[in-house]
Amino acid sequence: DAGVTQSPTHLIKTRGQQVTLRCSPISGHKSVSWYQQVLGQGPQFIFQYYEKEERGRGNFPDRFSARQFPNYSSELNVNALLLGDSALYLCASSQEPGTSGGEETQYFGPGTRLLVL
Amino acid sequence: AQKVTQAQTEISVVEKEDVTLDCVYETRDTTYYLFWYKQPPSGELVFLIRRNSFDEQNEISGRYSWNFQKSTSSFNFTITASQVVDSAVYFCALYTGTYKYIFGTGTRLKVLA
């Protein structure tokens, strides 16, 4: 079975531009989460979507937005890019959120490396 | 507050040595999960182990073993007979049934041949 896929793998943008990152979850997984990982740090939670509804949002500005499609794939959009947005953006999928049975275990994709110049 | 602390920033060992990675967590929730992930240079986080708060039984899986102690809020991870391929950054994470994982800052493990 295919794992979580993300596109593109690398991206270079300039300040003020907008970017869209894409994620396809593992087949059968209905929840997608997005994380930002700055060099040398652990991943920081941005969004979680389940059944196309936003379930949670981390401490990120409104320049960050996301959505989930009927096929459970997801997009992360970042507007008005800043130099500080340069990071590895990770997408994770799980069967469903919760605290039972292991369905909440998140499996991560390879990430998109975004460089803002 | 919920927090995960990995005090070891970087560890270097010689191949075949055993190495333990430390993780201390904070949460007031009684139900939670703890995870270890491995991040090789490629960047993808690879799931290694999941433990729930009601299962303190420690486990050995091949060269990996885990020591979960609620009394000290620790969830340590040991690699026996380390190999060069074990070189990576290892993250401990906490999930309390909300919607996000809380990660530590990671421990970079270097296994030297």
For chain A, the average pLDDT equals: 92
Q: Report d(CA B36, CA B76) in Å as an integer.
A: 9
Q: Count Cβ atoms within 10 A of the Cβ of residue A70 and give its class: 0-12 exposed, 13-18 middle, 19 or more buried.
A: exposed
3-state secondary structure of B100: coil
B99, B102, B107, B108: best mutation site toward chain A, by most A Cβ within 10 Å? B99
Is the confidence at residue A9, as pLDDT, over 90? yes
- Interchain contact, A105 vs B104, CB within 8 Å: no
State the DSSP H helix or E strand holding residue A20, giving kind and residue range, or none if neither: strand A19-24
**Confidence (pLDDT) at B31:** 87
**Confidence (pLDDT) at A96:** 73
Question: Closest to B43 (Cβ–Cβ): which among A45, A98, A111?
Answer: A111
**Confidence (pLDDT) at A4:** 96
Q: Is B36 on the interface with A (CB under 8 A)?
A: no
Q: Is B96 on the interface with A (CB under 8 A)?
A: yes
Q: How confident is the model at residue A78 (pLDDT cuts 50, 70, 90)?
A: very high
Q: Name the amino acid, one letter, at B94.
A: L
Mean per-residue pLDDT, B33-43: 92
All residues of chain A having their beta carbon less than 8 Å from the beta carbon of residue B97 are: 97-99, 104
**Confidence (pLDDT) at B96:** 85
Q: Tens digit of pLDDT for each residue in B65-105? A: 999 999 999 999 999 999 999 999 999 999 987 778 999 99
Smallest CA–CA distance from A45 into chain B, residue:
B100
Mean per-residue pLDDT, A45-55: 92
Angstroms from B108 CA to nearest CA on chain A: 10
Beta strands in B1-113 (DSSP E): 3-5, 10-14, 19-21, 24-26, 33-39, 46-52, 59-61, 64-69, 74-79, 88-95, 101-103, 107-112
Q: Is the peptide bond before A8 cis (omega within 30 degrees of 0)?
A: yes
Mean per-residue pLDDT, A3-8: 96
